[in-house]
Amino acid sequence: MTTASSTPRRVALVTGGSGGIGRAVVERLAADGFAVAVHYAGNKDRAEALVEEIAAAGGRAVAVAGDVADEKAMEAAFDAVEATFGGVDVMVNTAGIMVLSPVATLDLDDLDRMIRTNVRGTFVVSQQAARRLRDGGAIINVSTSVTRTQLPTYGGYVASKAAVEGLTLILARELRGRDITVNTVAPGPIATPLFLEGKDEETVAAFSKAAPLERLGEPRDVAESVAFLAGPARWVNGQVLFTNGGLA
């Protein structure tokens, strides 16, 4: 499913693009003039509704499906975007899952799920991007500020996101000579269903006061950082950008 007709200057593929941070990234990049591929794993209706919204605003978009940890599915997703828009310039990996538990009691099946989506998924998509992005492009991964704040119960999740940061730093150096930047955005507490699930009002209120700006971040705050890295930030490469309102 595609929309509109003019040929865009740049094309972005956003995994997990139909909700939360991914949706905000899609909306911001579309507003910046990108043609956007909205990737989804299970919610086709939500992805296609977002595509229609972008069309109504005069943009171009397509919905693409697939398990990010499945290399064949992601190869097919890139094929679909290239067939529709002619190529891919920016890859944004927002797809991810989070299960919170002390290390001592974390269900290892939940750990496996996080590793599969957050680590293998980011690796698979980054691998396709490294092979297929046009020169002058950008790969933007998503980590978490908890790699620095080390909050209890985040052990499994942080382990997966620390791997994403390590992958980012290596891939940036492997793509020498291509003019492709590779960076990670590490949000602080963001008011998304992924963050809010399972937290009571007292816990959410405490998180909202943790940063000097004394509020939870919004998905659009992260989208601003992604847009910076996807567009003008051509001298920022191999970095982790903490987008957290000053959280220590």
Q: Which two tokens stand for residue 56?
A: 């109504």
**Looking at 78, 85, 157, 242, which residue is catalytic?**
157
Task: Look at residue 104 in the predicted model and tell me its pLDDT.
Answer: 98
Residues of the chain with pLDDT > 70: what percent? 97
Query: Would the pLDDT of 173 be above 60?
Result: yes
Task: Look at residue 1 in the predicted model and tell me its pLDDT.
Answer: 52
| pLDDT tens readout for residues 89-121 | 999 999 999 999 999 999 999 999 999 999 999
For 151-165, the DSSP string reads -TT-HHHHHHHHHHH
Task: Look at residue 95 in the predicted model and tell me its pLDDT.
Answer: 95
The residues that bridge with 62 in the sheet, in sequence order, are 2, 37
Q: Distance between CA atoms of 149 and 188, rounded to whole angstroms? A: 9
138 φ/ψ angles, rounded to the nearest 5 degrees: -150, 140
| pLDDT tens readout for residues 50-69 | 999 999 999 999 999 999 99
Q: Averaged over 80-94, what is the pLDDT? A: 97
- Domains of the chain, CATH where assigned: 11-243 (3.40.50.720)
Query: Would the pLDDT of 49 be above 90?
Result: yes
Q: Distance between CA atoms of 5 and 56, rounded to whole angstroms? A: 13
Is residue 154 annotated as a catalytic residue, yes or no?
Answer: no
